[in-house]
Structure 1
Amino acid sequence: MPSQLNDCVQAASSTDFSGWLSLLITIVGWPVVYWLARQTSKKLEVNKCIDQLDSASLKLRERALTVSDNFSMADYHAMVALYNYVNLCCKRIEEIDNSKKRPKDTLRNLKKVSTDELFIEGQKDHAISKILALQVTLNYEYSKSV
C-alpha cells in the first residue's frame, strides 16, 4: 500500500509544479503580448497619419495650381486652411510616435510659399515648384514603417 500512496504524492507535486509554471508564464506573457500589440497598433496609426499627410500635401499643391492670378481672399483662406491641415497631420504623427519630430523649417517654408509667394504676381509657377520640393521633403521626413 505505501507504493500507491507514494505514487499519488509524486503525481501531486508534479501537478503543483506545472500549475506554478503555468501561472508564471501567464504573468510574464500578458505584459509582453500587451507591449507587442501596442507597438503594432502604434505603427498602423502612424502609417494612417502619413497617408493623410500625403493626401493633404497633394491637395495643397493641387489647390495652388487653381489659384487665379488676381488676388482672392477665398484662395488665400483655402491655402491657409490646407497648410494648417498639413501641420495638424505632422503634429498628430509627433504625438503618436515621439521619435519622429516635426520638420519645423520645412513647414515654415511651406507656409511662406503657400500663403505669400504664391500670391505674388508672376511667381505662381516658381511657388508651385517650391511646394512640390517641400512636399517631397515631407515625404522623405515621414517614411512608413513596416
Structure 2
Amino acid sequence: MPSQLANCAIEIAQCSQSQDYSGWFSLAITVFGWPIVYVLGLRTNRKVEINKSIDQLDDSIENLRKFAVSLEGKAFSNADYQTMVAYFNRIKNICTRIEQLDKSLTKPTETLRELKKIATDEIFHSDNKNSAISKILRVEIVLVNHYKKSM
C-alpha cells in the first residue's frame, strides 16, 4: 500500500498531466484562433477606413464647390486657380485611397476628368459660372453614388 506521500505525488502528477492537456488545448485555440480574429478584424478595419475615406471625399467635394461659389464675380487669379487644382488633386487622391482599400472598386475616370475640366476651365473661363457650379453638384452626386458606404 502506498504511503500518504506517494499518494500526494501521484495526485500532483495526475494534476500536472491534465494541466498539460489544457495547456496544449489553450495553445491550439490560440494558434488557430488568432489568424481568424486577425482576418475578421482586418476586414472590419478596412470597412471603417473606406467609410472614413468616403467621408473625406464628401467633405473635399463640398469644399471645392464652396470655393467655386466664392469665385463668383471675381476676376481670374492664379492663386485661385492653383487652389482649385489642389482641391481636385485631393479628391483624386482620396479616390485612389479608396481603390487601394477596396480592390473591387474602380476609379470613375470620366467623372474625375469632367470634374477637373469644370474646376479648372469652366469656372475660370466661362461667363456663366452658375452652370459650372451646378455641374460640380451633379458630379458630386455621381461620385457619392459611385462610392457607397459599407455597413
Q: TM-score, normalised by structure 2?
A: 0.82
For 1:28, the equivalent position in structure 2 comes to 32
How many residues align? The count is 144
Residue 48, structure 1, aligned to residue 52, structure 2: yes
1:74 aligns with one of 71, 76, 79: 79
Question: SS of 2:88's equivalent?
Answer: helix
2:129 aligns with one of 114, 118, 124: 124
Q: How far apart, in 1, do the equivalents of 2:90 and 2:141 lie?
A: 17
Question: SS of 1:99's equivalent?
Answer: coil
Q: How far apart, in 2, do the equivalents of 1:11 and 1:71 lie?
A: 85
Give the residue type in structure 2 aligned to 1:48. Answer: K
Greater displacement, 53-62 / 91-100: 91-100
Structure 1: give runs of 5+ residues left out of the alignment: none
CA-based RMSD of the aligned residues comes to 2.3
Q: How far apart, in 1, do the equivalents of 2:72 and 2:81 lie?
A: 10
Identity %: 47
- 1:42-95 CA distance string (max 9 Å, x none): 111111111111100000000111114422222211111110111111111112
For 2:90, the equivalent position in structure 1 comes to 85
Alpha carbons of 1:17 and 1:71: their partners in 2 closer, same or farther (altered >3 Å)? same
How far apart are 1:13 and its partner, in Å?
7.1
Q: TM-score, normalised by structure 1?
A: 0.84
Decide which structure has the larger Cα Rg and report it: 2
How far apart are 1:37 and its partner, in Å?
1.3
Structure 2: give runs of 5+ residues left out of the alignment: 2-6
Residue 94, structure 1, aligned to residue 99, structure 2: yes
For 1:105, the equivalent position in structure 2 comes to 110
